[in-house]
Amino acid sequence: MSIWTVEMDIDRLHRGFPGTILEHLDITIDAVGDDCLTASMPVDHRTIQRMGILHGGASVVLAESVGSIASNCCVDQATLAAVGLQINANHIRPVSSGRVSGTARPLHLGFRTHVWRIALQDENGRRTCECTLTTSVITRKSLGL
């Protein structure tokens, strides 16, 4: 059974990101499952740190992005929004080239909070980072939307 409250069309999801960090870092939505969402980004001059490996903060941007998008696709978007409340990241393995992907799966989908596990991996399927994201479900009106 699907957790989504909206039609999960990858092209439609991409249209919502112009002018955002997702566009700047070339983060793309790659796959949708009944209970998961996968996105990826390149490891390049925009995402590496001075030692030539993926910056931990870039990994967190990918994790929070895919988790937040997933969370927002589980609420009534006419009246509610899911916003980041807390994120934790454990960096496991360095990556120096290629793309990294992150798959978000829910641990808890409550009325006021969602908790997501986001597993990042390199192109060879090796785990690079493990994140937990908590989002707060709030009214769009409280955001001024």
Check if 64 is active-site.
yes
Backbone angles phi, psi at 71, to 5 degrees: -60, -40
3-state secondary structure of 143: helix
The one catalytic residue in 7, 64, 123, 130 is: 64
Q: Which residue has the tokens 């696709």?
A: 73
For 32-65, give one letter per residue: b (16+ CB within 10 A) or e. Answer: beeebbbbbbbbeeebbeeeebbbeebbbbbbbb
CA atoms within 13 A on the CB side of 83: 7
Give the active site residues: 64
